[in-house]
Structure 1
Amino acid sequence: MNIRNARPEDLMNMQHCNLLCLPENYQMKYYFYHGLSWPQLSYIAEDENGKIVGYVLAKMEEDPDDVPHGHITSLAVKRSHRRLGLAQKLMDQASRAMIENFNAKYVSLHVRKSNRAALHLYSNTLNFQISEVEPKYYADGEDAYAMKRDLTQMADELRRHLELKDKGRHVVLGSIENKADSKEKGRALSGSLRCLRGPRGEGDPGVLGAF
């Protein structure tokens, strides 16, 4: 299984996956809106044959009165590929991308009150908290839980990882520079020894004289 950033050519297959998996469906222009406006944020899961078996469609909310935050518009995994951890991986990838590209502080979503499996994933695995109930949010009149996930801890972990990676890069560079210095010193010493030998004449064995 492979998780990667969604590309424009994936959008039609993402819509097909959505139609197979979810009652909440979107017109194609909605996928293009996400893919072209926030190309860094949506991800797909593909099998060994390159077929899309899951996706997350994500965006940034444009609210000037709030801190930067993202929103999960849609998440789906085909029934044949569930219970493999793909939904969690897709959500984590999208959340990391929100932090890295837009400095997002939290991510939000809506979920049907009756969707127990999704509620378990969001609450118990991904640490989303219910912020409010939105009555009759869905077209069929069902209420939705509005949920939020604080991204502070993930942002701190990403920052520490980058700091360690940067330190490791400096250590490697320092080691390379030290080796280069050693080689340069070796060449300088060799040059000094050749100067001490003087020019070779006939029968000169080319060794240093006695000191």
Structure 2
Amino acid sequence: MNIRPIRVDDLPGMQACNLQNLPENYTMRYYLYHAMTWPSLSYVAEDHKGRIVGYILAKMDEDAAEDAEPHGHVTSISILRSYRRLGLAKKLMVQSQEAMATIYRASYVSLHVRKSNRAALGLYRDTLGFTVEDIEKKYCKLCGRRGRICDASVLKTL
């Protein structure tokens, strides 16, 4: 497995991985925006054939007040099912977090995760040291899961 920064030609593979795994789906324009604005914060995991099997899409927070501490945000992370439990999500997270801290001096990183996603919560809390900062009610209405109302934990780490 190889972890490397994203390139524009990776975007279709990232989108395919997203569509296969997640209810939160994004337009190609949104992927391109991340790739062009924060090229050093998003990464892909590729197999020995160069096929994208996972990705992390990350950015710096744009909504923070001018005097606020800079912080990063993980927009999306996804690993194809047959490549899970290999440590790829952890590697992608660590790579992105280190880039946020080194390049942008991020004081912390935030992300949203559905409360029902126990595997992801375990990774973020137990392995990566994130803490639950808030609960966002009706998160799935925001992410497009029709007919489902679920809450998301807002996690944060230093």
What secondary structure is seen at the aligned counterpart in 1 of 2:139? coil
Between the aligned partners of 2:83 and 2:6, the Cα distance in structure 1 is 18
Residue of structure 1 equivalent to 2:120: 118
Between the aligned partners of 2:37 and 2:149, the Cα distance in structure 1 is 30
Structure richer in strand, relative to its length: 2
Between the aligned partners of 1:48 and 1:95, the Cα distance in structure 2 is 25
Residue of structure 2 equivalent to 1:78: 80
What letter is aligned with 2:85? R
Aligned residues: 150
TM-score by length of 1: 0.70
Residue of structure 1 equivalent to 2:52: 52
Structure richer in helix, relative to its length: 1
Q: CA deviation at 1:67?
A: 0.4
Residue of structure 1 equivalent to 2:96: 94
Residue of structure 1 equivalent to 2:43: 43
Amino-acid identity (%)? 58
Alignment match of 2:151 (pick from 140, 143, 146): 143
Residue of structure 1 equivalent to 2:13: 13
Q: Which has the higher contact order (CA 8 A, sep 6+)?
A: 2
Which structure's CA Rg is the greater one? 1
Task: Summarize deviations over 1:41-97 as a string: whole Å, max 9, x none.
Answer: 000000000000000000000212420100000000001111110000000000011
Gaps of 5+ in 2: 142-147
Between the aligned partners of 1:17 and 1:50, the Cα distance in structure 2 is 14
Q: CA deviation at 1:24?
A: 1.1
Gaps of 5+ in 1: 151-211
Task: Summarize deviations over 1:165-187 as a string: whole Å, max 9, x none.
Answer: xxxxxxxxxxxxxxxxxxxxxxx
Alignment match of 1:134 (pick from 133, 136, 146): 136
